[in-house]
Amino acid sequence: MTTRALRAALVLSLVGCAQSRPNAPTPPASPPVAVPARPSSTYDVLIRGGRVVDGTGSPWFRADVAIRGDRIAAVGLLPAAQARDTIDATGLIVAPGFIDMLGHSEYPLLRDGRAISKITQGITSEVTGEVSSVVPISENTLRELGAARELVTWRDLNGYFRVLEAARPAINLATFVTVGSVRRAVMGDANRPATAVEIQRMGQLVAEAMEQGAVGLSSGLAYAPASFASTGEIAALARVAARYGGGYASHIRSEGAGLIQAIEEAIQIGEQAGGWVQIHHLKASGRPNWGKMRQAVATIEAARARGVDVSADQYPYAASGTGLNSVLPGWTHAGGRDSLLARLRDPASRNRIRSELLAEGGGTDAAIGASAGGPPGVLIANAVTDSLERYEGMRLDAVARARGQPVVDALLDLLLADRAATSAIYFSMSEEDIELAMRQPWVSVGIDAGARAADSTVREKPHPRAYGSFPRILCRYVRERGVLTLEDAIRKFTSLPAARVGLTDRGLLRAGLYADITIFDPATVCDRATFENPVQTSVGIQHVLVNGVPVVRGGAPTGERPGRGLRRAF
């Protein structure tokens, strides 16, 4: 262990990280106490007359919010205060900036820092790093990046944050380091157990990322090469992250038939590592598994009752989104993308894939997108190759008919022509399960989508969660259905994820914290993005400030880009 790592571990053992625990007692909301402003005191921004929902879950109160530089200077009744810029929040809710617990903007922000799809939802910070992460960098990890490879000029997380801030993003970004990336850096995409020497080397890469501010270790266990890792291997790496106060987050191995066992594995890894656990996009996928959310919640609650610090996040839609290649048998992904494409070209391997898919479906195509009820439940969202763009927005069975092929052959040909980069939407979840998960106080929100523009440059049909998740909850689940109170929803958007990943100076409206603030109309806020027409920004988000700078004003982006790289506080 490096001297710096030893120092960090010693400090952690002495003072702990109670401030990063989402269940630590939360101080009461700041009361609406009159705070006299000195005549000589001039603020940079003054938000007047709003109803403050401060992120703690406490009831709203009437107050002004004063900002000086990038920090909140005062929260209270400030009738005599003066400012260079005043925002009238009469009739509006003033809340901490929303934190996306699972995004994929690490590369999109380098290409287009405006983050329109994020800021128009009220998102001011994102946590990324699920299946892969920006570090470590090696020839193996670069090989799988595709076009994003040209953006990589860094060698470590400090270097990435320098590149990010030079790109001037509109939002802040924190990141996990992932099992997939450290395994790929050390082992390539080998489908075998890691040796003790390889685990030690992977642990060193995790430690380096944690020392430079990663928030924890993450795994995408439904995807190669992380899917090849054993529970023990992952626990060994999570133990390294835990030494720095970081936790273990996971897209678990199964969200369908094996859901409960997959949740239990994540909990087991957290227990063995001695750290916290975050289950990404909690769901019960596939009609035969609808209703399993109740058992999933009970499993998590039982772990929490015995002292395991486990929580989860979700997005508010009954459809998931991922690569079309996820329907292929697991063995096809060994060796990475090039090896997968070689198998799709090889007649013998192709016949094996076809036979396995048809056998699993009882001689039919039902196993292709089985969680979505088969091919009719799979919608093509984005094809990278221009000649395949005509299939975007079509169901997989319709694509097969248009091509005059059986579904299995259309699937394999489409993946081969698009270099296995096609993304798809799977209509696989029940509304009852979504609402049950949402009611749990330990469930935050992660939209599972990267930042996008909202104009004619967006030619694909992404999942509508990219544009509408947070306003959708405020509109449909708070205002219309009453699944959550407004204060509970804001806590899930702000202090819960901030505490989970150790962003101790964000997530609340408190003097001294960074001025990430979202101001919205509770009567009109709503999503507009649909599966048929997803590239539509939400309505009702009136003003958004990131580090004290307005990035949305009067419902429109300002063009300002004051975002930063965020490091976990130890």
Interval 416-440: pLDDT, tens: 999 999 999 999 999 999 999 999 9
- Pairing verdict, β 541-546 and 549-553: antiparallel
- Mean pLDDT (whole number) for 479-493: 98
Mean pLDDT of the chain: 92
pLDDT in tens, 235-269: 999 999 999 999 999 999 999 999 999 999 999 99
β-partners of residue 278 are 249, 311
Averaged pLDDT for residues 451-458:
90
- Inform me whether the pLDDT recorded for 32 exceeds 90: no
| pLDDT, tens digit, 9 for 90 and up, residues 456-477 | 888 788 999 999 999 999 999 9
Stronger pLDDT, 557 or 393, i.e. the higher one: 557
Strands 549-553 and 378-382: unpaired
Residue indicated by tokens 């050390």: 186
Instruction: Provide mean pLDDT across the span 489-512.
Output: 98
> 45 - beta bridge partners?
67, 85
Q: How far is CA 370 from the centre of its chain?
A: 25
E-assigned strands of 211-290? 216-220, 247-251, 277-279
Mean predicted confidence (pLDDT) in 167-195: 97
pLDDT above 60 for 356: yes
Q: Are strands 172-175 and 378-382 parallel, antiparallel or unpaired?
A: unpaired
Distance CA(263)–CA(470), nearest Å, equals 25
For residue 216, give the 3-state DSSP assignment: strand
Least confident of 26-40, 487-501, 536-550: 26-40
Structure tokens at 488: 């509970």
Helices (H), 382-464: 396-403, 407-417, 431-438
Contact 517, 76 (CB under 8 A): no
Cis bond leading into 136, ω under 30°?
Answer: yes
Q: Which two tokens stand for residue 412?
A: 């394999």
Asked whether the predicted pLDDT for residue 355 surpasses 90, the reply is yes
CA distance 276 to 310: 6
pLDDT tens digits, one per residue of 280-318: 999 999 999 999 999 999 999 999 999 999 999 999 999
Write out the E strands in 41-193.
Answer: 42-52, 61-68, 71-76, 82-88, 93-96, 98-100, 123-128, 172-175, 177-178
H-state helical runs in 244-391: 259-273, 293-305, 337-345, 347-360
Whether a cis peptide bond, with omega within 30° of 0, leads into 462 is: no
What is the reported pLDDT for 457?
83
Longest dimension (CA), the chain: 81
- The pLDDT value recorded for residue 367 is 86
Residue 222 amino acid letter? A
Is the pLDDT reported for residue 152 higher than 60?
Answer: yes
Query: What distance in Å separates the CA atoms of residue 382 and residue 379, rounded to the nearest whole number?
Result: 9
Quote the pTM value.
0.89
Confidence class of residue 164 from pLDDT cuts 50, 70 and 90? very high
Exposure string for 524-555, b = 16+ CB within 10 A, e = fewer:
ebbbbbebeebbbbbbbbbbbbbbbbbbbbeb
Identity at 417, one-letter amino acid code: A
Query: In the predicted model, is pLDDT for residue 212 greater than 60?
Result: yes
Model pLDDT, residue 458: 83
Beta strand 517-520 pairing with 93-96: antiparallel
What confidence score (pLDDT) does residue 17 get?
A: 36
What per-residue confidence (pLDDT) applies to 370? 87
pLDDT above 80: residue 39: no
Residue spans of beta strands (DSSP E) within 460-563: 517-520, 541-546, 549-553, 556-557
Residue 148 CA to residue 154 CA, distance in Å, equals: 13
Break the chain into its structural domains and give their ranges.
99-317+443-486, 323-427
pLDDT score recorded for residue 482: 98
Gap between the Cα atoms of 5 and 23, Å rounded: 27
Q: What share of the chain is helix, strand, coil (3-state, %, to 5)?
A: 40, 20, 40
65-101: string of b/e by CB count within 10 Å (b at 16+)? bbbbebbbbbbbbbeebebeeebebeebbbbbbbbbb
Q: What pLDDT is attached to residue 461?
A: 87
Structure-block tokens of residue 460: 């694909």
- Count of residues in the chain: 570
- Beta-strand ranges (E) seen in 391-537 are 423-427, 443-445, 517-520
Residue 496: both structure tokens together: 């819960």
How far does CA 151 lie from the centroid of its chain? 21
In the chain, the percentage of residues whose pLDDT exceeds 70 is 93
- CA–CA separation, 237 and 21 (whole Å): 20
Per-residue pLDDT band at 41 (split at 50, 70, 90):
low
pLDDT of residue 8: 39
Residue 132 pLDDT: 97
Residue 404 phi, psi dihedral angles, 5° rounding: 70, 40
Judge whether 66 and 83 are in contact, CB under 8 Å.
yes
Distance CA 494, CA 56 (A): 9
pLDDT one-digit tens code per residue, 102-132: 999 999 999 999 999 999 999 999 999 999 9
The span from the CA of 556 to the CA of 232, in Å, is 49
**9 pLDDT above the threshold of 50:** no
CA 304 to chain centre: 23
Side chain identity at 500, as an amino acid letter?
R
Mapped onto helix, strand or coil, the DSSP state of residue 413 is helix
Residues 544, 550: contact at Cβ < 8 Å? yes
φ and ψ of 230, to 5 deg? -80, 165
Residue 30 has pLDDT above 50, yes or no: no
Q: Which ranges in 120-258 belong to alpha helices (H)?
A: 139-143, 157-166, 179-187, 196-211, 231-242
Rounded Cα distance, 126 and 492, in Å: 14
- The predicted structure's pLDDT at residue 570: 65
Which stretch of 2-6, 118-122, 344-348, 353-357 has the lowest confidence by average pLDDT?
2-6
Number of continuous H segments (helices) and E segments (strands) in the chain: 18, 21
pLDDT of 88 > 80? The answer is: yes
Pick the CATH number of 99-317+443-486 from 3.40.605.10, 3.20.20.140, 3.40.190.290, 3.40.50.10300: 3.20.20.140
pLDDT band at 371 (very low <50, low <70, confident <90, very high): confident
